[in-house]
Structures are given as structure tokens and as C-alpha cells.
Structure 1
Amino acid sequence: MLAVGAALTAVVACSGRGGDRTGEPAAATTTRPTGTEYKVPATHPSDWGAPEVELPEAPRPYGPSPAATADPAFYDVTTLDAEAIAAAEPGAVLRSEPVSLTGPLTGASGWRILYRSTTAADTSAVVSGMVLAPDGSAPPDGRPVAAWAHGTTGIADRCAPSATSNLFYDDYAAEARRLLDQGFVVAATDYHGLGTPGVHSYHVSDELALATVDSVAAAHRIDAVGPLTRSWVVVGHSEGGLAALAVDQRADEVLPGLDYRGAVVAAPSAQLGSVAAAMFAVPEGRGYAALLLEAAAELNPSLDPAVALQPAATAREALLTHGCWEEAVPGFADLDATEMLASLEVGELLGKVLDTCCASDPKAALGPLLVVHGEADQPLPAELTAGLVKDLCAAGVTVEYRTYPGADHDEVMAASGEDGRRWLADRLDGVDPPSNCATAAH
């Protein structure tokens, strides 16, 4: 869930895998070093246990955000051994507990987990997430794994999908249910700093990728899940679409013992640098842009909302640190564009930072990819994704690109559900992946 608004469209310039699905023992080890130091991240107002503040008056047309049902103590990394974390392999499960699932996930089995990952600076990290398995016994040859990469829920720890019993939204739970019904075990990461201490590295593509890949390795380490095959895929929406693209660029490199089959990429927010400044100008984009400032301040202090925003917008910073999507995103929509940025240079600087930290490189993609977008997506216009697909095709990546009339940013998940099911089934069966690059994005 990430918006840039229909007004931003003016800024946009108009390899297949086969192999058998086997039950061979999965080697889910990574190629990254395992002895990097672990330090608990510096505290941030978005963390569990931070002083509570009263949220400022602001539009809340969608009601309050979902309440977390997990015990915050589960996410307390200070009760873990720092040396053991540093020595563990990426994907090692550090803590787990069963979860009673609700909504579309009712009937499946679930485990809330903390697992070892790595930061973009190549230091140890602890990331939270959830692993889901279909009800009943696994087939003798095992089940494949689908990594689910979620879209924007917020940056406060209470917005972590694993802190709820339905991955925060029933829309996301329904996406996971489709994967479960297809026979996948689902590894659903929260990403760095969402659930665990420190600010969520919102849209930092390296860390989105590492958290997602390591969740797959973690799923292979939970005995109760049952046998797993070597095959795995990634499915992502919005911010998770960027995560899926970033995973695709390094999937074989970081999990060489497994068999990556491709990615389903829904409405990806993969080119925000080019539209960052314009996001503050449209009501649909201001809340997202403010979230990006809050997270990007960790990379450049000049982007701290306390100095980067006008007083009227700064007064609503608690919506970012203590609210979730329902509070943060619409919470700035009623402000005038002139009440947002302290200077035009802030928007330009944010764009440069996002181009560096928070984008995908089409030339590095492996594929195959199924890229889907709703034609009625007002928050993230389809033209952005069409440009991305054009670049992917030019780089020689095998891409099937589909758009859906009448589907908005979230509705594209359900609208593309059957196409995604078919595409994933063919990848598992070793069918040559399709490409419509000759006609897509033109």
C-alpha cells in the first residue's frame, strides 16, 4: 500500500527455470558470513515500550488500525544472547511460538518467529515474521516455500504483520491463503525494525531482500512445518513488490542450495526516487512521503521530519511513529502542499536518497517474473510499473505483464489471483515461463 497519486504520471517516461520438483533434503544455508557483531539497534519512538503519546487530530477515514494481539515481550531481543546471534547463520530461528490464526487464515498452522538476518551494512540483525503451513500432513515429497513480502502497514512495531493473527489485513491474509491452498508453506517477514527494535528500514531494498530471503531459510528450520522441497518463490505487493524484485536479483546467490523459481510482483513501489518530491504535492502521497522521511532520517539526518517538514506537518509526526497505515497515510491528506516541506531541497534530497537505497536494478534481475498492476490504481499509477517492465524487458528478463481494468492498488491482489496461481503452478512444474515483452509496456 503505497501512494504517489495520479498527478504523478506526468513524470514517468512513456530467464526461465526448469528442473524437477523433488523431495531432496533442502540446503537452506546462505553464502553470507556468519560471524558479524550484533548490537541491539538504538531505540526509536516507534518501538514497543516507547512512551505513549496522544495521536493528533487528523483525518481517519478508514478507522483505527488493527490492534496487535502478540505479547510485545516476544520481540524483546535483549533477552537473547548477542554472541549467539552473531554466530548464527542467516535464517537461524532464535525464538518461536504457535499462533492461533484468524480470518482467511483460519484452519492453517502458524508460528511467530524471530530469526537471524543481516543489515545492508553486513552486520547481524534480528527480524520477526511468521511461518504458515496448510492444515494436514505434508505430501511425502514435501511442500515448496512461498515468501510473502507485504506492503506498507506503518513503521511502528505494533504494525508488524506477525503481531496480529491475520498478517495485519484480511487482504494480506487472503493472499497468503491462496498460497496455502496451492500447497505452499508461506514465510511472511515483517522486515527489519518492524516488530524488532529500531526504525523500520522502509523501502531499503537490500534489507527488504535479506529479510525476505532469510525468512525462507527460517521456514526450513522449523521442524513442525514438515518436509519441504528445494523449490521456492517470492510474492510481493507494493513495498513488498520492491522486496520481490530485490530478492529476484540475488536469489541464487544467497540461497544456492535451494531452487528459486521466480517472483510474482504486484503494484511494486520500485521507482520512488523519481517521484519523491511530487509525492508531497498530492493528498494521496503526503502520508507515504512523510513515512519515507521518518525512515530515511536514519540514512540522512537532514530528512528528519522535525526539520524537514513545516510546523503544521511536524506536529503530526506521532502519526508516523505511533500510528499505522490507517493513521499515518490519510493523516496528512488535509494539509495544503505548502504546509508540508520546509524547503524544496528536502524533496530533492529524499529523491536522491531513495535512488540510492530504495530502488531495484532491472539489469540485475534474474526472472522469471509475473508483474501485475491495477489500471484503477490511483495511489501508484500503472504507468510507473509499465516503465519498469519496459526496462526489465530491455535487460532481457523473462516477464509476463498483466493489468486489470477497474482494480485499484489493493484490489489487484484478488484480481490477479487466478493468473498468479497458474503462473506459480507452471513454475513448479518446470513449464517454460511466458514473456509478453514484445507487447507489454508499449
Structure 2
Amino acid sequence: MTATVPSRRRPARILLPAVLALAALVTPGPAAAPSAAPTPAGTTSGAQAGPSVTDSPAGAHLTGTHRAGTRQPGAPAPGRLLAVRRLSGSVPAGAQGWQLTFTTRTTTGQPTTGSAFVLAPARPPAGERPVILWTHGTTGLARRCEPSVSADLTHKTAAVPQALARGWVLVAPDYRGPDGATPVPYLLGPGEAYVALDAARAARAFTGLRLSADTVVWGYSQGGHAALWTARLARSYAPVLRIRGVAALAPVTALPAQVDDWRTEPIERVLVSYALLAYGRTYPEVRVEDHVRADAREKVRAVASGCISDPAEAARMADTLRGPEVFTRAPSTGALGTRLREHTATAATGGAPVLVAQGGGDGVVRPDATRAWARAECAAGRRLELREYPEVTHGGLLVDSSGVPAALTEWTEARLRGAPPTPTC
């Protein structure tokens, strides 16, 4: 069963959302990786001694760093705070912001470093503040594409003013941290979840804030996939957090069918290329050669350096992938298909209520795909609430006039006060 939300406006239907409409996200700052390995000892619940905060000078987005810890034998404990930098520039009015660097894990469990930005009210209310853990949509595989090093922190986020007005703290992880050698977990569920959960744990260790364990996960597009995986793994991976709910906006869910669906349009071929490259760097049996025409392989590999969040770069990447069929084999087949099935998202979130918001005019994550996934989840005995917004496009879900940000805020307030959810199955 689906709850259909009356449309508040009729946005122009766009076939490709995120892609050309994710304007002005680049112009990155100089995000240097810490040169020293993190210390493996210490807790992540707020008891560890955190690093000091370095200010960004006027006019800069991110500069300077403070590195904590020395190289120790053994793997570092994930979620350990390493460095804090105060943000300026695109921090919203009435807010304060920081970039955190912390220890985390890759999809396959290898230690690495992660980063995130944190936004809090300039004058937060007394007491511990609830956390909104925001997992963002696709920006690219390169470090410079990540939000915490971009010129516009909150571009393509939802309900940030509403969250700050309620005294909530936004923790927004990057998928690729300062460690440039680590594969990006693009649609790789555990890797997305680990960096998100470790960002939340590191934020709790930052003495500049008093954060509650109460956490609501919000995610959009790729981040909707990440949000569902984050809630799924939270109880076992980060039990210090209390996941009160997960809201997935236009989530990428059934991966084999979804990635197959992206093979036709040139700009969506960039998304297929991202998935193929990310999976190939994580699983050696997944090879570009098994899925891409010989004369298009270098073009596919080249998109790894481009940011789809920048309209000009997105257009250039799409142009390189125009013409005849680039892919000789469906992504849903072979070793890639096997791995995509393993990373498909579910609503098995350890009991946390699930809200899925879907635009009826979405040309990237198709409404029928989300409905089919929701029906399958309901048939499997999982409970979720699916709300559809007629004619709202992929990017339109984030716009206040769609009604989604207000509904998301209201739903989150209900979860934080312990009100029972209202699933549609």
C-alpha cells in the first residue's frame, strides 16, 4: 500500500536529475590527508580526548589541520576522531560547522580514514542534541567531489534549516575520505554504512558538541541506499547509537535492475561506469573488460576523475559516452551482477522505522522500481511507509515546495519523541 501525497506544485519533468541539476558543487578546498596513522586505542563514545580545533581564515572554506595520534601496531579502532577543522564560507547563517577526520573501514573491512562535515545551531539549546545523519547523493568517485571539501556544503541536502531550527545536529559523511588509495564505496552497502556510522561516533567524541545517542538517518538517491544499509548495520557495528528512524528519499534499492536501467542515456551511463569501477576496485573478479566495448574502456575509466555534481563536468562525461551501446553485457549478469545482488538495500533495519519518499516524475530512480521493491519488502514481512509525491522529479524531492522537507521534519520529530510509526505495510 502506498500513501500518495497531493502535489503542491507541478515541476517540469526532467529525465536526468541529479546529474545536470546538481549545480555548483565543486570548487573544492585543499583537503590534505593526515600523514600519521591513527592511534588504535581509545573509545568512540565521547570519552576520548579529542584534537583541538583549527580555524579557517577569512575567505577560506577549509585550511589548516590538527593531527592527533601516533602510529601504533595493529588496526585502528573505527570511529576514532583524528582531526577537527572549523568551516567558514558556505556554513548557513545561524549555524556553526566543522570538518571531522576519523578512522573507519572499507567495504571489505580494511582500515582507512573518513571525513564528514558537521553543522550545529550557532547557539544550540541546552542538553544533548539529537543527530541527523545525512548520506548524500552521487557526486563522483574523486575526493574533490565530496561535500566536505566542496564550495557549497548544503547543496542538494534536504531540510537543513528546519533541522537546525529544532536544535538538531547534522553529521554528513563523505564516501571518500582523505586516503586517496581507498576505493569509493559507490553503492557498496557496508562501506557506505561504516563511514556514516563512524562519522556519527567521531562526532560524539568532539568536545565542542553534546550529542545524544538518538540518531535519525536521512539519505537521498545513492544516499538512500546508504541510509538503509546504515540502519541495517548500526546495531552490530555501532551499538552506542540509537537509530530512531531512517528516511530514504528516492533510494537506489534493487541494484541489478536499477543499474541495468541506466545503460541507455549517456549521463546515466556515467552512473553505470561509477558502479563498475567501484565494484571492480573492491572485488577483483569484477572487470571492465567483461562489460564494456574495447574502444570504450578508457572512456569508462576516465569518468573516475569527474564530478557528476558539476554540470559542466557531467555534460563532458556524458558526451564521451554517447553513441553506440557502450556496454556489451548487462551489469546484472556475471560477477558484477552477483555482487550487485549482495549489496541490494532492504528495509531490515533492526526495528528502526523506515520512511521512503518517491517522486512520481523521477526519471532516474523510477517510481515503478521503488513500488516493486516496497512490495517485495512488505511480502518479506518488513514494515515501511512509502509516500509518493505525484510528478515530483528526482531533484525536486529536496525542494521545499515539494512538501518533502516539511514532511521529513515532521516524521523525524515523531520518531524522536517515540511516537509509533505509521507503516503502509
TM-score range, shorter chain: 0.7 to 0.9
- Kindly, what percent of the aligned residue pairs are identical? 26
Map of 2:63 onto structure 1: none
Map of 1:108 onto structure 2: 95
- The partner residue of 1:406 within 391, 397, 402 is 391
Map of 1:149 onto structure 2: 135
Measure how far apart 1:247 and its partner are.
1.4
Map of 1:280 onto structure 2: 263
- The partner residue of 2:146 within 151, 160, 171 is 160
Closer, same or farther: CA 165–336 of 1 in aligned 2, 3 Å: closer
Equivalent position SS for 1:146: strand
Map of 2:366 onto structure 1: 381
Map of 1:219 onto structure 2: 203
Superposed, 1:337-348 pairs within 5 Å as 338-341=324-327, 343-344=328-329, 348=333
Superposed, 1:236-315 pairs within 5 Å as 236-301=219-284, 303-305=286-288, 308-311=291-294, 313-315=296-298
1:215 corresponds to which letter in structure 2? Answer: A
Equivalent position SS for 1:122: coil
Contact 1:362 1:392 in 2 (8 A): yes
Closer, same or farther: CA 321–194 of 1 in aligned 2, 3 Å: farther
Map of 2:421 onto structure 1: 433
Aligned-partner Cα distance in 2 for 1:291–1:329: 15
- The partner residue of 1:368 within 350, 353, 370 is 353
Measure how far apart 1:294 and its partner are.
1.5
Measure how far apart 1:419 and its partner are.
0.8
Aligned-partner Cα distance in 2 for 1:77–1:314: 34
Measure how far apart 1:366 and its partner are.
2.7
Measure how far apart 1:321 and its partner are.
2.2
Structure ranking higher in helix proportion: 1
The Cα RMSD (Å) is 3.0
Contact 1:302 1:308 in 2 (8 A): no
Equivalent position SS for 2:282: coil
Aligned-partner Cα distance in 2 for 1:429–1:375: 30
Q: Cα deviations across residues 234-265 of structure 1 (Å, max 9, x unaligned)? A: 00001110111111212223332332201111
Equivalent position SS for 1:249: helix
Map of 2:187 onto structure 1: 203
Aligned-partner Cα distance in 2 for 1:334–1:191: 25
Aligned-partner Cα distance in 2 for 1:434–1:321: 41
Aligned-partner Cα distance in 1 for 2:168–2:347: 27
Equivalent position SS for 2:246: strand
2:82 is the alignment partner of 1:123: no
Measure how far apart 1:92 and its partner are.
1.1
Map of 1:96 onto structure 2: 84
2:115 is the alignment partner of 1:132: no
Closer, same or farther: CA 287–123 of 1 in aligned 2, 3 Å: closer
Q: What TM-score do you get using the length of structure 1 for normalisation?
A: 0.76
Closer, same or farther: CA 372–170 of 1 in aligned 2, 3 Å: same
Measure how far apart 1:218 and its partner are.
1.0
1:108 corresponds to which letter in structure 2? Answer: A
Measure how far apart 1:412 and its partner are.
1.0
Closer, same or farther: CA 255–329 of 1 in aligned 2, 3 Å: farther
Closer, same or farther: CA 64–182 of 1 in aligned 2, 3 Å: closer
Unaligned 5+ runs, structure 2: 1-13, 39-68
Closer, same or farther: CA 346–166 of 1 in aligned 2, 3 Å: closer
Q: Cα deviations across residues 312-350 of structure 1 (Å, max 9, x unaligned)? A: 533434652221013247723674563402x32666233
Superposed, 1:414-425 pairs within 5 Å as 414=399, 415=402, 416-425=404-413
2:182 is the alignment partner of 1:171: no
Unaligned 5+ runs, structure 1: 8-59, 438-442
> Which of 157-166 and 370-379 deviates more?
157-166
Contact 1:148 1:176 in 2 (8 A): no
Aligned-partner Cα distance in 1 for 2:23–2:211: 38
Equivalent position SS for 1:224: coil
Aligned-partner Cα distance in 1 for 2:381–2:35: 43
Closer, same or farther: CA 347–89 of 1 in aligned 2, 3 Å: closer
- The partner residue of 2:164 within 180, 190, 195 is 180
- The partner residue of 1:320 within 303, 321, 327 is 303
Contact 1:86 1:124 in 2 (8 A): no
Contact 1:203 1:242 in 2 (8 A): yes
Closer, same or farther: CA 376–86 of 1 in aligned 2, 3 Å: farther
Closer, same or farther: CA 187–409 of 1 in aligned 2, 3 Å: same
> Which of 274-283 and 426-435 deviates more?
274-283
Aligned-partner Cα distance in 2 for 1:417–1:333: 34
Closer, same or farther: CA 66–313 of 1 in aligned 2, 3 Å: farther
Contact 1:371 1:402 in 2 (8 A): yes
Closer, same or farther: CA 258–64 of 1 in aligned 2, 3 Å: closer
Q: Cα deviations across residues 114-134 of structure 1 (Å, max 9, x unaligned)? A: 111122333322111111111
Contact 1:99 1:112 in 2 (8 A): yes
Q: What TM-score do you get using the length of structure 2 for normalisation?
A: 0.79
Aligned-partner Cα distance in 1 for 2:215–2:409: 14
Equivalent position SS for 1:236: strand
Map of 2:7 onto structure 1: none
